[in-house]
Amino acid sequence: MNIAILFGGSSYEHEISIVSAITMKKVLKKSTLTYIFVSPNREFYLVDTDKINAKLFSSGAYKKGKQLTLKQGGFFTESMFGSKPVDFDGVLNLIHGRDGEDGKIAALMEFFNIPFISPRMEASALSYNKLYTKFLAQSLGVKTVPYEHLSKTDERKVSMEYPVIIKPVRLGSSIGVSIVKEASELEYALDVAFEFDTDVIVEPFIEGVKEYNQAGCYTNEWELSIVEEPQKEAFLDFEKKYMDFSRDSQVLAADIDDDLKIKIQDNFKKVYHPLFKGSIIRCDFFVNNGDVLLNEINPIPGSMANYLFDDFEGMVERLFKNLPKEQNITVDYQYIHSIQSAKGKA
């Protein structure tokens, strides 16, 4: 099939989206790929699949390509001879961070009636915001790490014991995140976090906590990845994550017993269904004293977590065939008609 890779965007993760997008060439080998770049000022450009490389974007050379317009049913090239649709079967949303993960791209695709793989708008708005993710988990009976919420204008006070981890509620890829070992470090960490966001959550930093990642989707059945135990570091800084987003080779499954694996998978399914239908997401869990705690939902994981799946390309095709359908609303103007006949105007 012909898959349009939508990438870039007005996001702190614009560059890692480019890395994710280029990685797709190595993992979607049987498909035809059509690359559509969203520039930092949010214009759409068609990018030649044969010539795609990171420098094309950093140099600005992409601007020489065809600019596209978004209209009902697709992306179009405009010329003196009229409007011509760009040919593809569906869009894979690979924009990390703002635009892609916050729900804007989902809203655009839904509004303009373009089939797409990505969390829908509502799922995006909830998972993009770490505070709202807590609400969601609570409503689903999924445990999370305990937390406190601080707004920019709140008193800068934390009740839980140090060390804590401070996270802006709306950003991915560890941007603005700090580990705070003692009270004296709090001010600076909050200054950094509030540079990026109006709200932060504070969580206990659990030394040596076990972390496991589970990715997957629902096509016409559950397609779950292996459970991965990510590399151990305090946390990944931006540059390390950046390199991480270009991964394309399979990793080994975590060495865990079946009980824990089933617990992790059950929690993934609870989070996913039905809100995340149509998307491939990765959930990051902590395991503490036998409890499986949802740490984060990655609505558009780096390079779509392809390296965790046996048959990533087949799964993408199956998902495109099983996208959720928007409810059809017929507008028949019956109220206007009935009011007009009451007024004698019909």
Residues lying near a copy of itself in the complex (CB under 8 A): 10-12, 14-16, 18, 40-43, 54-55, 57-58, 69-72, 78, 80, 83, 98-99, 102-104, 106-108, 110-113, 121-122, 125-126, 128-129, 131-132, 135-136, 138-139, 149, 151, 196, 198, 238-239, 242-243, 274, 327, 329-331, 333, 335-340, 345
Widest CA span in the chain: 77
Q: Which residue has the tokens 């007024």?
A: 343
- The answer to whether residues 302 and 172 touch, using CB atoms and an 8 Å cutoff, is no
Q: In terms of CB distance, is 140 or 209 closer to a copy of itself? A: 140
Strand partners, 178: 166
Least distance CB 222 / a copy of itself (angstroms): 15
Q: In terms of CB distance, is 19 or 217 closer to a copy of itself? A: 19
Sheet of 44-47, strand order: 82-85, 74-79, 67-71, 44-47, 32-38, 2-8, 90-93, 116-117
Distance of alpha carbon 165 from alpha carbon 204, whole angstroms: 6
Least distance CB 8 / a copy of itself (angstroms): 9
Distance of alpha carbon 299 from alpha carbon 237, whole angstroms: 19
Least distance CB 69 / a copy of itself (angstroms): 6
Least distance CB 120 / a copy of itself (angstroms): 10
Angle between helix axes 121-128 and 104-111 (nearest 10 degrees) is 180
Least distance CB 96 / a copy of itself (angstroms): 12
Least distance CB 227 / a copy of itself (angstroms): 26
Least distance CB 289 / a copy of itself (angstroms): 27
Least distance CB 332 / a copy of itself (angstroms): 9
Other CB atoms within 10 A of residue 21 CB: 26
Q: In terms of CB distance, is 169 or 227 closer to a copy of itself? A: 169
Q: In terms of CB distance, is 108 or 215 closer to a copy of itself? A: 108
Least distance CB 246 / a copy of itself (angstroms): 10
